[in-house]
Homo-oligomer: A and B are copies of this chain.
Amino acid sequence: MKKSPKFSGTICPAITPFNSKNSVDFAAMEKHYQMLTEAKINGILVMGTIGEFATLSIKERLAIIKQAHQFTDLPLIVNVSTTVVDDMIRLADASYDAGYPAVMALPHYYLSQTTNQLYEYYKYLDSRFLGDWFVYNFPARTGCDVDAKLVAKLMLDCPRFIGIKDTIDCASHTRSIVLASQSIRKDFSVFAGFDEYFIPNLLNGGAGVLSGLNNVVPDLFASVMKAFNENDFHQIQLLQKEISRLSNIYNIGDDFVTTIKTAVAEKHGYLKANSRNYGGALNAKQIDEVKQLFKL
């Protein structure tokens, strides 16, 4: 796996399959990564929110770092977020050592940091990370926000800060980051974090999307990039409508991770739908809704 200077297009925050004992199922993971690779998307985020990083022990995460890059040739990013900074550094070191081109870090997700604290926190991480890194902004989960102004400030100070996943259901937020970053560095990648922001973000000059439905229909997302490159507006319109329609998946069930896993299980068959989030399992009616949505 070679270091890629820049990320763009559609990237899948891959689910982490578990076996019936709720341990990591590496065989299923390999099949999932192969499916994603064949769909020709532009990369994979290892252990993002949908990959249930927050329920994995440090030992499990190190084991996944060791394995995942062997399952694909796609560019990979590893989410190394934990609330213990030394553990983050350990995961980051292991990632860079294994050849991953970049890691990704959330704000501390318990301390509800102020803008000033976020700045100091990321500056410190930058001083410890040995390679390129992304910010993962997900205010609904962390209770704090990495905004356009802070992104700009960090970009000026940290040349290895190469992009952001901006997971927020708010167009002005991601657009502001795109505008702010473009005036500073051209090699910076702003990814939207929700499926339906993919095309709008590309229209704004953003890098692409890093979103959940890539697990189920990666080919759909890959064809967006194709349509864009071919200036096929007719196709763009069809694809946006299809992504909108499929976004209804987020209305099914209590825990969208389990729901996405259910969709993958129903469509692709190589993994179980169980997650580590208690109370997320779908009932028969909900599984039916998932199947109808994806015409299974």
Q: Is the CB of B279 within 8 A of A116?
A: yes
Tell me the nearest residue of chain B to A234, going by C-beta: B231
Tell me the nearest residue of chain B to A251, going by C-beta: B176
**Beta-carbon contacts under 8 Å, A118-176 to B:** 118-121, 123-124, 140-141, 143, 169-173, 175
A269 lies within 8 A of chain B by Cβ: no
- State in angstroms the CA–CA spacing of A121 and B280 once bound together: 10
Majority-rule SS of A interface residues = helix
Given A200-B199, A205-B241, A231-B234, check contact A54 B278 (CB 8 Å).
no
Q: Is the CB of B113 within 8 A of A279?
A: yes
Count A interface residues, CB 8 Å: 65
A237 lies within 8 A of chain B by Cβ: yes
Q: Is the CB of B203 within 8 A of A240?
A: yes
8 cross-chain pairs, A with B, having the tightest CB-CB distances, nearest first: A120-B279, A117-B279, A233-B233, A120-B278, A54-B110, A203-B240, A121-B278, A54-B83
- What are 16 sample pairs from A and B whose C-beta atoms fall under 8 A apart? A55-B84, A55-B85, A108-B277, A109-B109, A111-B255, A117-B278, A117-B280, A119-B279, A121-B279, A169-B170, A171-B194, A171-B197, A172-B194, A172-B247, A179-B244, A204-B240
